[in-house]
Amino acid sequence: MLALRTLGKTCRRSPATLWRRTAAQSAGQRMDIRGIYPPIATPFTEKEEVDYLKLHDNLQKYAKIPFRGLVVQGSNGEYPYLTAEERVEVVRRVRQALPREKLVMAGSGCESTMATVQMTEQMARAGADAVLVVTPFYYRGRMDSKALIHHYTQVADSSPVPVVLYSVPANTGLDLPVDAVAALSQHPNIVGLKDSGGDITRIALIIHKTSSEDFQVLAGSAGFLLAAYSVGAVGGVCALANILGPQVCQLEELYVSGQWEAAKALQYRLIEPNAAVTRKFGVAALKQAMDWFGYHGGVCRAPLRPLSESEVKMLRQDFSSNGWL
């Protein structure tokens, strides 16, 4: 069964909550989500259909890396390009292929509260251990704390599994406000936050403001992983871990064991490759680099395009100049 590392926390129950509790939660403890997670890519065939065989291959390799688990349907999984059925099916396949002790954190966010509630339920049924819920954002001008607290409370109230908040302003144009995170951290079914914005002051403040709640913050990128650890983050969901998984886990290990100088030296070398496969060139670069490192990357769904030749060169340079290629 699922090995839960539990945190010593007494859950304050909100009387109105309807969520079902896992064994751990009933005992008043939050799911421990500490560790490193790759937000996995979704391989496609040349016809842009989900390629489950290649996915399975990748999972076999990831199973041997000391990840805490996998994030399925994060931004790097091209989730906005999958149908609802595909989103659920990918989660199911990942859960089946993965050793039980690895957490499957599934991205179940949709624009409407109603759709997010349903998708969350479906993913839990498909085997997700936790869900990662991106902020809705199309009407970002109206997505203030009030709206977001309402949204996440509805989702967490009804979710069969623990909820992790997800703030990714590069894609959504929206930062989940600190006061909203602080309020939501009191919900017994909300266990943490993945913050991909990289504003380290904000991350530290969130940890400060939620310190009485055993609320866990994951860095959303390998670029600021060490800095995030230094202010109290407990792990990371790092696109780069799809490619340099052992190295990202090694950074965690160096931090945990207090080897700061070695950690710093390693952190430095991860910044440019990480930027290259995220904000600089995006998912197509992630997949291109996966191909170089023995994983199945391949094509993206349209409208995402393959990299140009000169982009491929720059991408390679970002890895080679840091000693990875």
Annotated binding site for pyruvate: 237
310 in contact with a copy of itself (CB under 8 A): no
Q: What are phi and psi of 43, to 5 degrees?
A: -75, 145
305 in contact with a copy of itself (CB under 8 A): yes
Smallest separation, CB 202 to a copy of itself (Å): 9
The residue among 26 and 211 lying less far from a copy of itself, judged by its C-beta, is: 211
Question: Catalytic: 166?
Answer: yes
Smallest separation, CB 85 to a copy of itself (Å): 11
45 in contact with a copy of itself (CB under 8 A): no
230 in contact with a copy of itself (CB under 8 A): yes
Smallest separation, CB 203 to a copy of itself (Å): 8
Find out whether 116 and 109 touch, Cβ atoms under 8 Å: yes
Which range touches a copy of itself (CB under 8 A), out of 4-12, 77-85, 122-130, 286-294? 77-85
Question: Within 13 Å, how many C-alpha atoms sit on residue 200's CB side?
Answer: 12
What does the DSSP assignment read for 25-49? HHTT-PPP--EEE-B----B-TTS-
Helical axes 52-62 vs 84-97, angle rounded to 10°:
40
Question: Catalytic: 61?
Answer: no
284 in contact with a copy of itself (CB under 8 A): yes
Smallest separation, CB 21 to a copy of itself (Å): 24
- The CA radius of gyration of the chain, in Å to the nearest whole number, is 19
Distance CA 86, CA 241 (A): 23
312 in contact with a copy of itself (CB under 8 A): no
What does the DSSP assignment read for 233-286? --EEE-GGGGTSHHHHHHHHHHHHTT-HHHHHHHHHHHHHHHHIIIIIT-HHHH
298 in contact with a copy of itself (CB under 8 A): no
Beta strands in 31-119 (DSSP E): 35-37, 69-72, 103-107
Question: Residue from 267, 277, 296, 315 that binds a copy of itself (CB under 8 A)?
Answer: 267
The residue among 149 and 243 lying less far from a copy of itself, judged by its C-beta, is: 149
Find out whether 197 and 167 touch, Cβ atoms under 8 Å: yes
Q: Is the peptide bond before 303 cis (omega within 30 degrees of 0)?
A: yes
Give the number of residues in contact with a copy of itself, rule: CB under 8 A. 64
Find out whether 236 and 253 touch, Cβ atoms under 8 Å: no
The residue among 62 and 281 lying less far from a copy of itself, judged by its C-beta, is: 281
Catalytic pick among 194, 229, 287, 295: 194
Burial (CB < 10 A; 0-12, 13-18, 19+), residue 234, is: buried
Which range touches a copy of itself (CB under 8 A), out of 6-14, 51-59, 156-164, 269-277? 269-277
Which range touches a copy of itself (CB under 8 A), out of 8-16, 26-34, 80-88, 94-102? 80-88
In the numeric block, which tokens belong to residue 244?
């340099």
Smallest separation, CB 249 to a copy of itself (Å): 19
Interaction site with a copy of itself (CB under 8 A): 48, 75, 80-83, 111-115, 136, 138-143, 146-148, 150-151, 154, 170-171, 173, 198-201, 204-205, 207-208, 211, 221, 223-224, 226-232, 260, 264, 267-269, 271-272, 275, 279, 281-284, 301-305
Catalytic residues: 166, 194
